[in-house]
Structure 1
Amino acid sequence: MPTSQRLPDAVIDAAIVWGVKLNYGEPTQQTRSRFQRWLEADPLHRLAWERVGAFKPAIAPLQAALGRDVLAAADREHRRQDAQRRRALKILSLGGVAALFGWSLRDELGWQRLTAEASTAVGQQRRLQLEDGTAVVLNTDSAVSTDFSGERRVLILRRGEIMVTTGADGAAASKRPFWVFTPFGKMQALGTRFVVRLESQRARISVQEGAVELHPAGGGASLIVRPGQSGWLADDGALAAPEQEFAADGFADGVIAGQNIRLDALLTELARYRRGHISCDPAVAGLRVSGLFHVADTDRALQFLLQTQPVSVSYRTRLWVVVGPASQS
């Protein structure tokens, strides 16, 4: 096959994703096996892999540890201010990671999605059924990986938010403990249904059934969170979290559901499901709203607020919406 042959963009993208997973993630044997199957499925896959690999000599001195540091720096920047994603991509480029794969980062994808086994885009939800019977719902802009190869079941939340309903693990000789790993520590599910959401400096865990034991990354005291309770998991400790204004697991049904929700909190939540930014004028931030707001159509939710609240909704651009006081006429 001539090396000058033009390859489909989808094949090139797939080769780039595999390159990131294998070089900058922590690939399990299961991941390596899937890569081998992909490689052998089509001659174009092997050619794309060879071309992606051709970028490696350009930055041979770059060690894997440096690559991970660059990715971590980009992630911290993304979490600090989501509106500055392009600045995070600049960090990646300066670190040489972009040069390694000729990386286009289409649609400004988070790098965690490239190292994950399953992910969602902004505004998308996805349901997974794991090999042990566990059900996982990924919320908007989320990414997960799994490792069930040893004596415990591990789900790694790399980005975003998930709802987990643990399975019976019936195929195993004995039921293995179920763990969720996050950047801030890990947690053991004690026969349960729960939600884990990554924030900038910590993770929030909300339990609907059973219990979850939180273990901070820094080695502090553990905390057990029970049904109807929430907890914070951070590097330096775990502690109880106050009740949210909306149901933590509502996203699994495609809604933000609650009573007496502050308007600014509702808009912040709606903004997670759309590209761009929603601004809330301080003059209306404290208004209280109740109801079901469908996340699949955030414009419709904004129109509902316009019809039921003393507010105005202005589209400054396709990606910038401003909610302020209703005009006086």
Structure 2
Amino acid sequence: MTHNYKFFLTVFLFLTYIFTVAGNLIMILLALVDVHLKTPIYFFLCNFSILEIIFTTVCVPRFLYSMTTGDKSVTYNACVVQLFFVIFVGAAEFFLLTVMSYDHYVAIYKPLQYTTIMNDRVCTIFVLGCWLTGLLVILPPLSLGVQLDFCNSNLIDHFGCDASPLLKIVCSDTQFVEQIVLTMAVLTLIFTLVCVIVSYAYIIKTILRLPSAQQRKKAFSTCSSHMIVVSLSYGSFIFIYIKPAKEGVALNKVVSLLNTSFIPLMNLFIYTLRNKQVKQVFKDSIKKIAFLSEH
């Protein structure tokens, strides 16, 4: 990697990390303090922002350290902690995106019953279920992974501590662990993707039945941000984990950088810049702060 390329990539990672964390913190703060955002979808978005902050914080600072110092060594405990949070948060995000799809389905398919169905208790159970399911996804491969014997080298062919390059420096047989990892990944992907597809099948069917073009446009606009985020999340996941092994680690390194830095920033912009209500609340908050500072 040339010096100029490394410098550009380091600056890019640093800026995307700062903007992602700051933007998600603002999103969380707005959802907590503004009465207009006290709805189920913003409760889910608030939790999604928390997961995005954890995900990028676990990955990007380590990437920056490796790139600026050239030190690719990593301690065993640090590697286990990073892998735990990456897989745990990643799985929880997929289940949360599924819940958000269901929320859109209820809002469009059963609007008169929406507040009854998606009450505070149900929303809390859904979110806790997403976090718990993420934990259940990571426990089987992690419990097997910590029993593996590693070779003398503690250098991995990656910017951080990822499962694929990590398994390349394991001396013991990794076939069973790799099968477990792939099985959990595929099950998570299939289950959540089927739920999302079913939800959107009902959503699209309902939208097409709306009498006016204006109503249909508004309904599609409501769901479009979520659909884009789902496409980005599933696309990167499939590329990294559900592809032939012969593709190697090199391309995964690039995709991992995008997945842990650029895509979380894109998700933030998609959910905020495309959301008129969030933008309005943000502008109102800035005006209030400016007014208070003047007095």
Global fold match (TM > 0.5): no
TM-score normalised over the length of structure 2: 0.24
Structure possessing the higher relative contact order (Cα contacts under 8 Å, 6 or more residues apart): 2
Structure with the larger strand share: 1
TM-score normalised over the length of structure 1: 0.23
Structure with the larger helix share: 2
